[in-house]
Amino acid sequence: MWRSEPWIKAEVPGTRKATVIEKPELAADLLKQAGRILMIIGDGVSMDLSNRPLLDYVVEISRILNTHIATSSTAYVEIKKKLSTVTWIPPMEIAHRATDPEWMGLDGKGPYKMIVLIGLPYYMTWLILTGLKNFAQSIKTISLDRFYQPNASWSLRNMNINEWEQFLETLVDKLKT
Amino acid sequence: MGKKDLYVKLKEATTTLGVLRDVEIAIDRVIYEEFEEPMGPTPMPSIKDLRNWDYTLLKRYRPFYMPFCELCCLCTFGKCDLSMGKRGACGLDMASQQSRIVLLACCIGASTHTSHAKHLVEYLIERYGRDSPIDLGEGVGVEAPITRLVTGIRPRTLRDLEDVLSYVDNQLIHLLASTHTGQEGDALDFESKVLHTGMLDHLAMEVADIAQISVMGFPKSDPDAPLVDLGFGTVDKSKPVIMVVGHNVPSAASIVDYLIENGLLGQVEVTGLCCTAHDVARYNPKTKIIGPISWQVRYIRSGLPDVVVVDEQCIRTNLIEEARKVGAVFIATSEKNCQGLRDRTGDSTDEIVKDLIEGREDGVLIFDPEKVGEVAVRVAMALASRRRKYKEGTISKDAIVEQAKRCVKCMECLRTCPNNLPIMDAVNAAAKGDLSLLSSLYEQCIGCLKCESVCRVKLPIHSMIVWADNVFERETFKIRSGRGAIKDTEIRAVGGPIVFGEIPGVIAFVGCANYAYGGRDVYEMAEEFAKRRYIVLASGCAAMTLGMYKDEEGKTIYERFPGSFDAGGVINVGSCISNSHIAGAAIKIANIFARRPLRANYEEIADYVLNRVGAVGVAWGAMSQKAASIASGFWRLGIPVIVGSHGSKYRRALLGRSDREEDWFIYDARTGEKVYCGPAPEHLFYMAESKEEAIVMIAKLCMRPNDTTKGRAIKLSHYIDLYKKFYGALPEDIHLFVRTVADIPITMKDEILAFLKEKSWKEKTIPDPTLLPRLIRRRE
């Protein structure tokens, strides 16, 4: 039960809570079917997991899905070396733009259908997601952090780092197929 | 405008009506004019009077709401679910509800400063007299820039400050009333009221600080205010110790008075936390500052304080329990914070002291500051030797290991820590004898104690972190005591370089200590900008944090940089209420340097500050409702504020859209033409995730439409250099800030010109900027 509760217990959400993505296969299906995706990533993506740096997974997901990445993290330097579709923009600013139905996205090609978040502080993600949930209702959101985020449309459950890495590993594999 | 009592007593007077005997005439106030400056358009503005200005700001800087709570439970219609486009039973939608809560928070904050100011002014009038002059020291002609700007009053004496506070009271009642069910229903109108509340908050802060500066002997706008001891390690453990905590200084000052009057100064350590510590250090630099508000529990748990004296605001509300655990006596002194204690104000000092020393009571409530001073000193001197056992060590390293073994690995600490610290892993490592991980948490622990509160086996986790390596006990620093206002002469000297952009910015580090990654971030930000010769200001807990780091030579930032309001200065203005001097400095630039009329002329001055004064506030650890109202006072004045990541819990940002060109048109006051001025400043209220992001954004938000080409080139060179330092490339938005080729920093010219070519950049006009049509000098 605790696995699908807000990780910070007092961060109690409203009446609509995120659906838990139990399996990476489901996450892969959702992402593949989403249409235009924006990834908002935070400083937390610079952490090392046991097999690979977390950033490797993020870059790979972005490359496979052809998503744009928005970040103000220092990981920007590394991402820029690997992807051209990254823009330095603070998370608050990009989330605010996403609430504008007329905004045509960072590449000017049209509104995003889905926003994926990873690597921001838990409470900051919690709040950005509640902003998007209430003021950008046409956009679906997924949290790929290892903590349950109740304000997303879909969220991973609370899990330890090894489980999370395994999840991301499988997700990348499934996205490739 | 001045106001005087008139009292006439006639023993015998012959008049056309007859002879009058024993006539007494009393007139409460006679109002007379002695302010040479003509009254401006908005004296003592009501909620509606500056609404147009607010809407001008809010049209450009739109709210982005992040509902921290999606329900409303403020009336019996509820709870109402406002999520996903629903409305509550009263009709409010989510945006209005969020702005309503922001307004409530700001009303709490502004009321708190106003209440503080009222108690303080009443006390000072009683002690020093109603006609005590307002005196901010040599070189300060504009003694109360916010008061003059908002109310039109030029305060001469403490008496005049009462009139200012009456206006604030009146407005706050209306603002709070507008949050009642069935009143305001529009989010932007709530936001306008938020800005009004912030303006009043600054007014109350200014009143409080100029009152105490004028009569209490604080440094008066002194760039060389004394350096004061900071840190737990500076306290002499062999002496009796008094701890003061809060914001309202009379009781703490009375402790110092009693010590001086009885020849005891130096024999008792007077130590403080939070703003009372700032202000008692301004009163007497021999007192010591322990640290920001987050240090209060660890300080009591050290066992060192014999007596804990609390006044008001930001005090941990169960501090009395912590005091009891170490046998320290607790004295509450404010009617806003009575702690369930017996009111002993009317009892004799001897009786109170006897009861406390003999343990018949462990805490008392005393509203008379002089009595508090005597009781605190006498009790501390009597108890110090008896409490020796508490002072000789808290939790030993062996005891930490033993405690750690009791951990049941329930993860509750992890799931409550606001900074997501790996507490459980650290405790488990400690159980195996390795205290290094616990010790490494010290820097990031904000002392909220939520981990202890949820721990199933009641481990003293905070103490285990603090004493894992005794970092706390080695803290010995220096801080320059709060200097108060900025002199008019300083403003004259730097007004031009600031407005034209040659001093690239004025950065104020303000607010609380709710840091996501520790205080070092704040120190490093301040140091970065001081080295780059920005003007760095600081106040409150942030000012203490700046002093708590040393360079390779062992010097703190206050020992390395001058305290003058000039390029490369690092200035501690003082406590929370001294924030008013930061806003005051921006106002004075418009008035003293640019000669804009000040009196009751809010819109014009705010328009000037927004478009010309490159000032930015940084409240990296903002926590309180007061911080919210302080920030909103800066916004209305056109000064952007950046908060740290926890600041996102204020649930709303005010963000510009640099991608919407139409948002950035202003009037050129010379011609009346509407011209594009670029996104400067880009945001009004903004939460940064990391120190690096904040540093880059600070440099960017210092840009203003009025910058000269030389000034813009300097500002751009810092912005680009900092961006490259952290992100390894040119910023992607330079084309929005380069108006002419002359704006381009000379050393980066080729690189930037190539970038501008890619962006199809075209030269733009540099306007004489204003958002107010009435300031256009000639219409084409």
Cβ-contact A123, B646 below 8 angstroms: yes
**Which residue is closest to B98 within chain A, CA to CA?**
A131
Query: pLDDT for B207-218, tens place per residue?
Result: 999 999 999 999
Q: Nearest by CB to B687, from A7, A73, A92: name it.
A: A92
- C-beta atoms of A93 and B655 within 8 A: yes
Bridge partners (DSSP) of residue B80 are B72
**Which residue is closest to A7 within chain B, CA to CA?**
B415
User: Alpha helices of B416-473 — where are they, by DSSP H?
Assistant: 423-431, 436-440, 450-454, 461-466
Partners of residue A13 in chain B, C-beta under 8 Å:
70
Residue B701 confidence (pLDDT) above 90: yes
Which is nearest to A172 in space by CA: A77, A51, A43? A51
Min Cα distance A40 → chain B (Å) is: 12
Q: Would you give the distance in Å from CA B490 to the centre of its chain?
A: 22
Residues B124-141, mean pLDDT to the nearest whole number:
97
Residues B222-243, mean pLDDT to the nearest whole number:
97
Question: Residue B779's pLDDT is what?
Answer: 55
Residue B3 confidence (pLDDT) above 60: no
Question: Are B580 and B711 in a shared domain?
Answer: yes
- C-beta atoms of A92 and B697 within 8 A: no
Question: Are B328 and B381 in a shared domain?
Answer: yes
- From B326, B359, B391, the end of a domain falls on B391
CATH number of the domain to which B281 belongs: 3.40.50.2030
- Rounded CA-CA distance A94/A23 in Å is 29
Residues B613-628, mean pLDDT to the nearest whole number:
98
Residue B10 confidence (pLDDT) above 80: no
Residue whose tokens read 């508090």:
B372
**Range of B134's domain?**
51-216
Reported confidence tier of residue B574, pLDDT bands at 50, 70, 90: very high
- From B364, B391, B418, the end of a domain falls on B391
- C-beta atoms of A134 and B67 within 8 A: yes
What is the 3 state secondary structure string of B585-603?
Answer: HHHHHHHHHCCCCCCCCHH
Q: Where are the domains of chain A?
A: 19-176
Structural Rg of chain A based on CA atoms:
15
Residue B414, domain member (yes or no): no
Question: Are B176 and B307 in a shared domain?
Answer: no
Q: Which two tokens stand for residue B475?
A: 């803290």
Question: Residue B394's pLDDT is what?
Answer: 82
Min Cα distance A19 → chain B (Å) is: 16
**What proportion of chain B, given as a percentage, has pLDDT over 90?**
93
Question: Are B566 and B714 in a shared domain?
Answer: yes
Question: Residue A1's pLDDT is what?
Answer: 60
Q: Which amino acid is at B15?
A: T
Mutation for A interface: B456, B645, B720, B724, most A CBs within 10 A: B645
Question: Are B494 and B561 in a shared domain?
Answer: yes
- Rounded CA-CA distance B160/B1 in Å is 9
**What proportion of chain B, given as a percentage, has pLDDT over 70?**
98
How many CB atoms are closer than 10 A to CB B740? Answer: 12
Which is nearest to B118 in space by CA: B211, B24, B214? B211
- Rounded CA-CA distance B371/B347 in Å is 10
- Identify the CATH assignment for A19-176 out of 3.30.70.141, 3.40.50.1220, 3.20.20.370, 3.30.43.10: 3.40.50.1220
- C-beta atoms of B686 and A128 within 8 A: no
Partners of residue A97 in chain B, C-beta under 8 Å:
657, 659
What is the 3 state secondary structure string of B271-289?
Answer: EEEHHHHHHHHHHCCCCEE
Q: Nearest by CB to A95, from B64, B649, B690: name it.
A: B64
Structural Rg of chain B based on CA atoms:
27
Question: Residue B5's pLDDT is what?
Answer: 58
- C-beta atoms of A127 and B420 within 8 A: no
Contacts of B723 (CB under 8 A, 6+ apart): A88, B696, B699, B729, B730, B731
Q: pTM for this structure?
A: 0.96
- C-beta atoms of B64 and A80 within 8 A: no
- Rounded CA-CA distance A91/A145 in Å is 15
Question: Residue B487's pLDDT is what?
Answer: 98
Which is nearest to B161 in space by CA: B184, B132, B197, B187? B132
Question: Are B61 and B201 in a shared domain?
Answer: yes
Min Cα distance B652 → chain A (Å) is: 9
Cβ-contact B621, B513 below 8 angstroms: yes
- Rounded CA-CA distance B698/B692 in Å is 10
Residues B460-482, mean pLDDT to the nearest whole number:
95
- C-beta atoms of A137 and B94 within 8 A: no
User: Alpha helices of B230-348 — where are they, by DSSP H?
Assistant: 250-261, 274-283, 296-301, 319-325
Contacts of A59 (CB under 8 A, 6+ apart): A79, A82, A83
Task: End-to-end CA distance of chain A: give it in Å, rounded.
Answer: 32
Query: pLDDT for B298-331, tens place per residue?
Result: 999 999 999 999 999 999 999 999 999 999 999 9
Partners of residue B410 in chain A, C-beta under 8 Å:
none
Between residues B538 and B472, the one the model is more confident about: B538
Question: Are B200 and B238 in a shared domain?
Answer: no
- From B366, B391, B416, the end of a domain falls on B391
Q: Nearest by CB to B70, from A8, A14, A123: name it.
A: A14
Q: What is the mean pLDDT of each run of 10 residues along chain A (177 residues)?
A: 87 94 97 97 96 97 97 97 97 98 96 98 98 98 98 97 97 96
Cβ-contact B535, B561 below 8 angstroms: no
Partners of residue B651 in chain A, C-beta under 8 Å:
127
Q: In what order do the strands lie in the sheet with B769-770?
A: B674-676, B665-668, B769-770
Looking at the 3D structure of chain B, how many domains does it have? 3
Min Cα distance B683 → chain A (Å) is: 9
Query: pLDDT for B414-444, tens place per residue?
Result: 999 999 999 999 999 999 999 999 999 999 9
Residue B253's alpha-carbon distances to B15, B282, B314, B607, B613, in angstroms, are 54, 10, 19, 40, 37
Question: Are B765 and B622 in a shared domain?
Answer: yes
Query: pLDDT for B256-287, tens place per residue?
Result: 999 999 999 999 999 999 999 999 999 999 99
Phi, psi of B675, rounded to the nearest 5 degrees: -130, 150
Question: Residue B405's pLDDT is what?
Answer: 98
Q: Which two tokens stand for residue B493?
A: 């000297």
- Rounded CA-CA distance B467/B404 in Å is 13
**Which residue is closest to A87 within chain B, CA to CA?**
B732
Residue B694, domain member (yes or no): yes
Question: Are B631 and B514 in a shared domain?
Answer: yes
Question: Residue B16's pLDDT is what?
Answer: 74
Mutation for B interface: A1, A45, A103, A123, most B CBs within 10 A: A123
- C-beta atoms of A72 and B693 within 8 A: yes
- C-beta atoms of A130 and B728 within 8 A: no
Question: Are B493 and B576 in a shared domain?
Answer: yes
Which is nearest to B739 in space by CA: B770, B763, B703? B763
Per-chain mean pLDDT for chain B: 96
CB burial of B489-508 (b: ≥16 within 10 Å; e: otherwise) equals ebbeebbebbbbbbbbbbbb
Residue whose tokens read 């008392």:
B364
Ranking A163-177, B31-45, B108-122 by mean pLDDT, the lowest is B31-45
Partners of residue A123 in chain B, C-beta under 8 Å:
418, 645-646, 648-649
CATH number of the domain to which B100 belongs: 1.10.8.190
Min Cα distance A115 → chain B (Å) is: 16
CB burial of B645-655 (b: ≥16 within 10 Å; e: otherwise) equals bbbbbbbbbbb
Residue B572, domain member (yes or no): yes
Min Cα distance B621 → chain A (Å) is: 14
Query: pLDDT for B87-108, tens place per residue?
Result: 999 999 999 999 999 999 999 9
Q: Which two tokens stand for residue B106?
A: 């700001």
Question: Are B199 and B306 in a shared domain?
Answer: no
Reported confidence tier of residue B22, pLDDT bands at 50, 70, 90: confident
Q: Nearest by CB to A80, from B84, B418, B729: name it.
A: B729
Residue B191 confidence (pLDDT) above 90: yes
Residue pairs spanning A and B at CB distance below 8 A: 121
Question: Residue B1's pLDDT is what?
Answer: 47
Reported confidence tier of residue B649, pLDDT bands at 50, 70, 90: very high
Q: Which two tokens stand for residue B614?
A: 């490159």
Query: pLDDT for B331-351, tens place per residue?
Result: 999 999 999 999 999 999 999
Question: Are B574 and B537 in a shared domain?
Answer: yes
